[in-house]
């Protein structure tokens, strides 16, 4: 039991502690987590490869029939990419359930346990992931509009000031305005998007329906902006750092063969574009488990902060699961909703008192 507590101390975590804990768990279960994260990313990689091949062939085909075919392939590849992204959200819920089971009963973190949990609630998770994806798109659009509004106001202010001050002040205010607008847009995005961060976790850990899980996520996700931003930025920079390391051999080979290997190159041959996409998805496979672990730890941490989840988990480790009483619904979610119960000996039924004549 002490080994479990050493692996994941149930105490409120800051942004740095959250990333450190996720990296340590990642190192301990590296191969298993790669297997868990690989299927959704492989699906997205297949969609990216199809889209890249068809998109590059559109400008080179003289046939109208082939043009239509390539457009359909681009549409199909985009659909596959979206399906892979939704599948990643679904797998995230199964990974959280596996992690909490690991905390409670020292169950191993395994591919089979994660995907068994995903299979048990697949269609509900699919619908919930679709709603989360729509919400994220809406948050991104709203954040972009906020960025555009702030940047336009600051640019108008710079032009007004530039009529009274030297012209270089316009450049300074424009750069400063861009930074401020980007920061405010990111804060707005994570403020809104973070409200739906715990929907898969609430469904698989707490056994909630889709609507109830969305409401639960909104009520639980308060004050997580900084940690969510830190996890996102860390994963983003780690992913592209891994990409930079993996892309070096391909870049050298392309440079030797006369390919413009700069990030802004527009004349990449098909083999280089496909290789680049495959390596990009490989870097996602390597780093996706950290994102899954980070959100799982963040979910547990939010419950520790708001609901004393650490005490509940310690009680669940030591005590048998409470029996379900017909017609009685507890207002508190258990540590882990499961049909598997530990050995529970019910109390003996009360014997009714005997009557005066000795009859019952």
Q: Tens digit of pLDDT for each residue in 59-83?
A: 667 777 778 888 888 888 888 888 8
Answer whether residue 19 is part of any domain: yes
**Angle formed at CA 155 by CA 152 and CA 158, multiple of 5 degrees:** 155
Instruction: Give the pLDDT of residue 335.
Output: 63
Torsion from C-alpha of 210, 86, 231, 305, nearest 10 degrees: 10
Burial annotation 13-45 (CB, 10 A radius, 16+ → b, else e): bebeebbebbeebbeebeebbbbbbbbbbbbbb
Instruction: Give the pLDDT of residue 4.
Output: 42
Answer whether residue 318 is part of any domain: no
> Is residue 332 predicted with pLDDT exceeding 70?
no
Instruction: Give the pLDDT of residue 3.
Output: 47
Q: Percent of the chain having pLDDT more than 90?
A: 2
> Is residue 339 predicted with pLDDT exceeding 60?
no
Answer whether residue 337 is part of any domain: no
pLDDT digits (tens, 9 = 90+) for 222-233: 777 777 888 788
Instruction: Give the pLDDT of residue 206.
Output: 81
Answer whether residue 106 is part of any domain: yes
Answer whether residue 127 is part of any domain: yes
CA pair distance 27, 17, nearest whole angstrom: 15
Q: Percent of the chain having pLDDT more than 70?
A: 75
> Is residue 121 predicted with pLDDT exceeding 60?
yes
Contacts of 247 (CB under 8 A, 6+ apart): 276, 279
Domain count, the chain: 1
pLDDT digits (tens, 9 = 90+) for 253-274: 777 877 776 655 556 777 777 7
CA pair distance 340, 334, nearest whole angstrom: 13
Q: In whole numbers, what is the pLDDT of the chain averaged over residues?
A: 75
CA pair distance 169, 32, nearest whole angstrom: 55
Answer whether residue 211 is part of any domain: yes
Of 316 and 243, the structure prediction assigns the larger pLDDT to 243
Answer whether residue 339 is part of any domain: no
Contact predicate 90/125, CB 8 Å: yes
Is the Cα dihedral 286, 38, 232, 311 positive or negative?
negative
Residue 26: domain span: 11-310
Angle at which helix 30-58 crosses helix 111-120, to 10 degrees, equals 60
Of 183 and 158, the structure prediction assigns the larger pLDDT to 183
Answer whether residue 215 is part of any domain: yes
Is the Cα dihedral 234, 237, 239, 241 positive or negative?
negative
Q: How does residue 355 score in pLDDT terms, banded at 50, 70 and 90?
A: very low
């Amino acid at each position: 039991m002490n080994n479990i507590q050493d692996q994941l101390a149930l105490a409120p975590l800051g942004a740095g502690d959250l990333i450190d804990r996720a990296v340590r768990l990642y190192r301990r279960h590296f191969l298993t987590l790669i297997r868990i994260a690989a299927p959704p990313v492989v699906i997205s990689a297949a969609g990216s490869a199809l889209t890249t091949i068809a998109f590059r062939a559109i400008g080179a085909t003289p046939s109208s029939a082939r043009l239509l075919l390539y457009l359909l392939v681009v549409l199909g590849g985009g659909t596959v990419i979206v399906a892979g992204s939704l599948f990643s959200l679904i797998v995230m819920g199964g990974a959280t359930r596996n992690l909490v089971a690991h905390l409670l009963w020292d169950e191993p973190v395994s591919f089979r346990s994660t995907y068994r949990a995903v299979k048990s609630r697949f269609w509900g998770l699919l619908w919930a992931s679709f709603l989360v994806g729509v919400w994220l798109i809406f948050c991104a659009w709203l954040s972009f509009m906020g960025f555009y509004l702030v940047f336009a106001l600051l640019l108008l202010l710079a032009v007004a000031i530039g009529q009274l001050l030297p012209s270089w002040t316009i450049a300074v205010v424009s750069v400063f305005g861009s930074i401020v607008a980007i920061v405010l847009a990111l804060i707005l995005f994570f403020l809104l998007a973070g409200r739906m961060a715990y929907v898969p976790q609430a469904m698989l850990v707490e056994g909630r329906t889709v609507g109830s899980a969305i409401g639960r996520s909104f009520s639980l996700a308060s004050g997580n902006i900084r940690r969510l931003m830190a996890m996102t930025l860390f994963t983003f920079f780690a992913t592209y750092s891994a990409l930079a390391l993996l892309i070096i051999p391909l870049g050298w080979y392309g440079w030797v063969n006369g390919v413009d290997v700069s990030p802004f190159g527009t004349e990449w041959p098909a083999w280089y574009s496909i290789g680049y996409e495959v390596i990009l998805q490989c870097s996602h496979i390597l780093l996706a488990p950290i994102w899954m672990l980070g959100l799982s730890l963040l979910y547990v941490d939010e419950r520790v902060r708001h609901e004393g989840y650490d005490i509940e988990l310690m009680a669940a480790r030591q005590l048998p699961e409470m029996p379900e009483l017909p017609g009685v619904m507890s207002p508190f979610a258990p540590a882990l909703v499961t049909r598997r119960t530990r050995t529970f000996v019910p109390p003996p039924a009360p014997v009714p008192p005997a009557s005066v004549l000795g009859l019952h």
